[in-house]
Amino acid sequence: ESPPCVQLLHCVRFDEGIRGGESTFADAIRIAEILRERDPAAFDTLSRVPATFQKIHYDRPDPVHIEYRRPHIEVNHRGDVVNVFWAPAFEGPLEAPQGDVEEYYRAYRVFAGIAEEDSVRIAFRLAPGDLVSFSNRRMLHGRNSFSESAGSVRHLQGAYLSAETFINRLRVLQNSAGDGPKMLSGVQIARCGNGDFS
């Protein structure tokens, strides 16, 4: 699925000679809600105008050419933000009606500015052996700049899981451990994030 829902980042090596390089994370759904509060027109634009995302690599052993279009912000039937698709490194040319182009780029800059605010970001240094997993449709992740002394290495390995694979395994584990999922008044209480992987 594009983009994959669950991302795993494993810190293989992070030598003491590396200065900086902390991993950064921000809750994209919170950023979208802040955008809705501060600039409703920008929120409307980013939840309506489809952006282009692409991953094109013909120069590797297993060539890939993936392209899809969707708005950056996905809302459900109640207007709740359920997914955010924000991947500047994988964005392609905008294919939108002329009347939406200027407003799209204005809204894009506002969202990007909020994403850089300290109030929505955390940063920490991973240690060798650390593994972080998160919803790739909710969390924005990156890293701070870094410098290295001779011979120092910073090596993180990433992997992805589809939502279906993850939820399937979660259900199997819940239902095969003990009496199955814990219930409260007939409602399953074990939750994964906001539980909305649509």
Cβ–Cβ contacts within 10 Å for residue 168, how many? Answer: 11
What's the chain's average pLDDT?
Answer: 88
Contact yes or no for 21/154 (Cβ under 8 A):
yes
Look at residue 178 in the predicted model and tell me its pLDDT: 59
pTM for the full model? 0.81
Instruction: Identify whether 187 is part of a domain.
Output: no
Instruction: Identify whether 151 is part of a domain.
Output: yes
The tally of domains found in the chain comes to: 1
Over the stretch 86-132, which tens digit does the pLDDT of each residue have?
999 999 999 999 999 999 999 999 999 999 999 999 999 999 999 99
Q: Distance between CA 69 and CA 81 in Å, rounded? A: 18
pLDDT higher than threshold 70 for residue 85: yes
- Classify 41 as helix, strand or coil: helix
Higher pLDDT, residue 20 or 177: 20
- Classify 31 as helix, strand or coil: helix
Instruction: Identify whether 137 is part of a domain.
Output: yes
- Collect all residues with Cβ–Cβ distance below 8 Å to 192 and sequence separation of at least 6: 166, 167, 170
pLDDT higher than threshold 90 for residue 192: no
Instruction: Identify whether 185 is part of a domain.
Output: no
The CATH number given to whatever domain includes residue 155 is 3.60.130.10
Look at residue 196 in the predicted model and tell me its pLDDT: 52
Over the stretch 148-172, which tens digit does the pLDDT of each residue have?
888 999 999 999 988 888 888 888 8
Look at residue 189 in the predicted model and tell me its pLDDT: 46
Contact yes or no for 34/157 (Cβ under 8 A):
no
Q: What is the helix (H) or strand (E) element at residue 75, kind and residue range? A: strand 73-75
Cis peptide preceding 3, ω within 30 of 0: yes
Instruction: Identify whether 181 is part of a domain.
Output: no
Look at residue 182 in the predicted model and tell me its pLDDT: 55
Residue range(s) defining the domain that contains residue 151:
6-161
Look at residue 81 in the predicted model and tell me its pLDDT: 96
Contact yes or no for 84/73 (Cβ under 8 A):
yes
Over the stretch 58-67, which tens digit does the pLDDT of each residue have?
999 999 898 9
Instruction: Identify whether 170 is part of a domain.
Output: no
Instruction: Identify whether 40 is part of a domain.
Output: yes
Instruction: Identify whether 140 is part of a domain.
Output: yes
